[in-house]
Amino acid sequence: MGDTRLISNPQRMSGDEINPAAVAQAVEDVQGDDRWMSQHTRFVQECKDAEPEVLFIGDSMVQLMQQYEIWRELFSPLHALNFGIGGDTTCNVLWRLQNGELDNIRPKVTVVWVGTNNHEHSAEQVAGGILAIAQLLTSRLPKTKVVVLGLLARGDGPNPLREKNAAVNGFLRSWLPRLGQAQFLDVGAGFVHSDGTISTRDMFDFLHLTAAGYRAIAKPLSDLLLQILDETPEEKRASLV
Amino acid sequence: MHHIANASLTDKVMSSGDSNPAATPTPCVDIQGDGRWMSLHNHFVSNSKDKEPDVLFVGDSLVQLLHQFEVWRELFSPLHALNFGVGGDETQHVLWRLSNGELAHISPKVVVLWVGTHNHSHTAEQICGGIMAIVQLIKDKLPKAYTLVLGVLPRGKMPNPLRERNAQVNKLVKDAVSSLPHASLLNVDPGFVHSDGSISHQDLYDFLHLTPQGYQAVCQPLHAHLKGLLEKQAEN
């Protein structure tokens, strides 16, 4: 499925063209308050002080999770850091990881959730970008396990972005297992009803999750994290309450 | 006297729509491909058909996100409030939504309007004009309603031009509503900017959007003010 050469080198598409979704890129401050860089700087600083067992990195789907109770209930106890930034594409996450957000930390698990904002890229390019992130993580943190969350459906009814996100997930399902330390987790089951609609009870703007929406995805995710943390040999692991 | 005359002339120009894009009703064009903005608008219109809210919150992501946290259920559900916030909305988008059905089926006593921070290509004067156009529209459609405009919050980790712009918007709006019996501006900034000029991510998690803690600090006084307004409306 897709170009198998991408698995070894996701930076290149078929025909050896560069995959734009796998090119690291900072967000330019066009609005005038430099918030993206301020958030990045804060995360780099956090790396100096924290000793996370779990690192979450991605876009607003990651960022918003920390604002709900579910984060405190299920993920804070796992000593998790949240490096989500709203609007981020795979390019932005790659840049952040290459520019300090992995310094001085050795998480046992990294959760990657990004791709839904890559509007200028094809599904294959987006999957290649996510793969590039997973490869970067396993090369910088040889002992980390990478969990890539599938992109959720979006929009009130069927639309091209749903198809695109599903296609990204399809590529990831077949590519990620070949990376050894990476796995794919689909948390999107149940959001699209039989009539094709998504409820605002789950996604308040047909994209971002409500508290109830996060609750639905957090359980399978936290179960998987606990399982991975349990399997990981003791180095210096804080006790789980 | 001269100053006041100039201000109202500016208001007329800025809210006329011809010369102020921030005051010209404009729907959001779907460039991403999933039509979410229009879906949300349609959802609000149909959702309002069987509701009888006393309070309507309308605006951008700061309104929308408020609906997701406990503070909404604690403080605003009991006031029979509806939430028509859409992330990213600028004044002209809110103006379009309210002109195209979102006020058609309800008669709230108070409309809480919180918008302006996303108007990136407009000046403070234009943004004020956009807000005042919304205030006028609400008056036209809901003659008995009171409009409470919330001041636009500071943003960014350190001092920056957007903070100045937002402060100027608040000043201009405050002047513009001062002569109106049916509207006022409420400053809801509890002091997010510290003495060193910084804003904390504990209050604004991305230096723009409020954390639950940030919302509590904003909403407690807002809630008290709203209750006072509703009591006054009840007396009339």
Q: CA triplet B3, B4, B6: central angle to 5 degrees?
A: 65
Q: Do residues A130 and A174 lie in contact, with contact meaning Cβ atoms separated by under 8 Å? A: no
Backbone angles phi, psi at B58, to 5 degrees: -140, 140
Compute the distance between CA of residue A49 and CA of residue A44 in angstroms, rounded to an integer: 9
Active site residue A60: yes
Cβ within 8 Å, pair B35-A38: no
Cβ within 8 Å, pair B39-A206: yes
Question: In angstroms, what is the C-alpha Rg of chain A?
Answer: 17
Does residue A2 carry a pLDDT above 80? no
Centre a 10 Å sphere on the Cβ of residue B49 and count the other Cβ atoms it contains: 10
Catalytically annotated residue among A29, A34, A156, A205 = A205
Helix B91-99 and helix B36-47, axial crossing angle in degrees, nearest 10: 40
Interface of B with A in 157-186 (CB under 8 A): 157-158, 160-163
Structure tokens at B38: 């229009």
Does B207 touch chain A if contact means CB atoms closer than 8 Å? yes
Per-residue model confidence (pLDDT) at position B68:
98
Q: Of the given ranges (A103-117, A177-191, A220-234, B146-160), which has the lowest mean pLDDT?
A: A220-234
Residue range A76-96: average pLDDT? 98
Which positions in chain B touch A35 (Cβ < 8 Å)? 155-157, 206-208
Catalytically annotated residue among B19, B39, B43, B206 = B206
Please name the residue of chain A whose CA is at the shortest distance from the CA of residue B41: A205
Does residue A150 carry a pLDDT above 90? yes
Structure tokens at B27: 């729907």
Cβ within 8 Å, pair A66-B163: no
Per-residue model confidence (pLDDT) at position B7:
45
Tell whether the torsion through CA atoms of A101, B208, B67 and B61 is positive or negative. Answer: negative
Does residue A6 carry a pLDDT above 80? no
What is the DSSP secondary-structure string of A110-175?
A: EEEE--TT-TTS-HHHHHHHHHHHHHHHHHHSTT-EEEEEPPPP-SSS--HHHHHHHHHHHHHHHH
Per-residue model confidence (pLDDT) at position B5:
42
Per-residue pLDDT of A156-210, as tens digits, reads: 999 999 999 999 999 999 999 999 899 999 999 999 999 999 999 999 999 999 9
On average, the pLDDT of chain A sits at 92
Helices (H), chain A: 5-8, 35-49, 60-65, 69-70, 90-98, 123-140, 160-175, 211-231
Single-letter residue type at B53: P
- How many residues are present in chain A? 241
Per-residue model confidence (pLDDT) at position A231:
83
Q: Of the given ranges (A41-45, A230-234, B169-173), which has the lowest mean pLDDT?
A: A230-234
Which positions in chain B touch A69 (Cβ < 8 Å)? 70
Tell me, yes or no, if the pTM score tops 0.90.
yes
Compute the distance between CA of residue B124 and CA of residue B116 in angstroms, rounded to an integer: 9
Taking 70 as the pLDDT cut, the residues of chain B under it are: 1-18, 236
Residue range A99-126: average pLDDT? 98
Burial of B75 (0-12, 13-18, 19+ CB in 10 A): buried
Does residue A1 carry a pLDDT above 60? no
Please name the residue of chain B whose CA is at the shortest distance from the CA of residue A116: B32
Contact residues of A toward B, CB < 8 A:
30-35, 38-39, 42, 63, 66-69, 85-86, 119, 154-157, 159-162, 164, 200, 204-208, 210-211
| Structure ipTM | 0.91
